[in-house]
Amino acid sequence: MGQAGAFAWAWPWPQKKKRVLLVTGDGELLMSLGILATIANQGPENLVLLVMDNESYAETGGQPTATAGPTDLEQVARGCGIKETATFQNEEETEEIRKMVYGRAGPVFMNIKVFAKPPDLVFSPIHLMGLPLLIGFESLSYRTSLVIIIGINFKTLVC
């Protein structure tokens, strides 16, 4: 945890003609908030950060993150200098999310509030081996205009 943002920040440089979308969680991002300042300072125009904010560390037992309290990740991103930011809280905003992913010059930061569900206590090999999963996306990225980097376990989210 804590390195997905850095991985996504490095990815756009050789992929300048492709949109890079990082899908990560609030707990993962909170482990390395400094990456937001680095991203803002470097300004990769093809980078989109999409944070699924369930206000918990769902994979380690559901402990609350700072976003369950007063911490607002959109304001943190804006304070670091990312100009294109938004927070979404309901399904009716799906079209606006799509527009931000594909239509805004980056870096773009989106915080999407989702419900947490109790975590599974058995960890599957897929999220113990995140790197092979990301390498699979690398081969996909050569055939599409969008590179997707997954920094969360989707089984712990209910959208």
Q: How confident is the model over 87-110, as pLDDT tens digits? A: 998 878 888 888 888 888 879 999
Residue 80 has what pLDDT? Answer: 96
Residues 6+ apart with CB under 8 A from 35: 5, 6, 9, 29
Residue 83 has what pLDDT? Answer: 95
Note whether residue 108 is domain-resident: yes
Note whether residue 98 is domain-resident: yes
Residue 15 has what pLDDT? Answer: 61
Q: For the chain, where are the E strands, in sequence order?
A: 19-25, 47-53, 56-57, 63-64, 84-88, 108-113, 115-116, 146-150, 157-158
Note whether residue 159 is domain-resident: no
Tell me the two tokens of residue 56. Answer: 């918990």
Note whether residue 27 is domain-resident: yes
Q: Around Cβ 108, how many Cβ atoms within 10 Å?
A: 24
Residue 70's CATH number? 3.40.50.970
Residue 40 has what pLDDT? Answer: 94
Residue 126 has what pLDDT? Answer: 41
Residue 82 has what pLDDT? Answer: 96
0.75 exceeded by the pTM? no
The answer to whether 112 and 92 have CB atoms below 8 angstroms apart is no
Note whether residue 111 is domain-resident: yes
Residue 57 has what pLDDT? Answer: 83
Low-confidence ranges of the chain (pLDDT < 70): 1-16, 117-159
**From CA 132, how far away is CA 121, in angstroms rounded?**
22
What is the residue range of 113's domain? 4-12+23-153
The domain tally of the chain equals: 1
Note whether residue 158 is domain-resident: no
* Whole-number CA gyration radius for the chain: 15
Note whether residue 18 is domain-resident: no
H or E stretch covering 100: helix 94-103
Note whether residue 132 is domain-resident: yes
Residue 117 has what pLDDT? Answer: 64
Residue 8 has what pLDDT? Answer: 58
Residue 154 has what pLDDT? Answer: 43
